[in-house]
């Protein structure tokens, strides 16, 4: 957390940090620590629908 805070303060801009978290406890730990340190945290979740590709030759 300290590294993220130092980078944000150094550059004075929001940070975009891509993460893949499958354990909700990790998410709570990371975001909770940042909130407690007074950081403004915005969480965006991107999802997509997966469609099956047609099988066969395209020739």
Higher pLDDT, 28 or 22: 28
Kindly tell me if the per-residue pLDDT of 38 is higher than 80. Answer: yes
Does residue 30 belong to any structural domain of this protein? yes
The structure tokens listed for 40 are 């403004």
Does residue 54 belong to any structural domain of this protein? no
Please give the residue range of the domain that contains residue 10: 2-36
CA separation for the pair 24, 33 (Å, rounded): 14
The structure tokens listed for 42 are 């915005």
**How many separate domains does the chain show?**
1
Average pLDDT over all residues of the chain: 82
Kindly tell me if the per-residue pLDDT of 25 is higher than 70. Answer: yes
Kindly tell me if the per-residue pLDDT of 56 is higher than 80. Answer: no
Does residue 50 belong to any structural domain of this protein? no
Does residue 57 belong to any structural domain of this protein? no
Does residue 56 belong to any structural domain of this protein? no
Does residue 43 belong to any structural domain of this protein? no
The structure tokens listed for 35 are 């909130």
Does residue 27 belong to any structural domain of this protein? yes
């Amino acid at each position: 957390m300290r590294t993220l805070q130092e980078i944000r303060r150094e550059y004075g801009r929001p940070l975009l940090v891509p993460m893949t978290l499958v354990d909700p406890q990790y998410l709570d730990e990371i975001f909770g620590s940042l909130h407690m340190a007074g950081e403004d945290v915005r969480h965006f979740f991107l999802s997509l629908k997966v469609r099956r590709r047609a099988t066969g030759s395209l020739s």
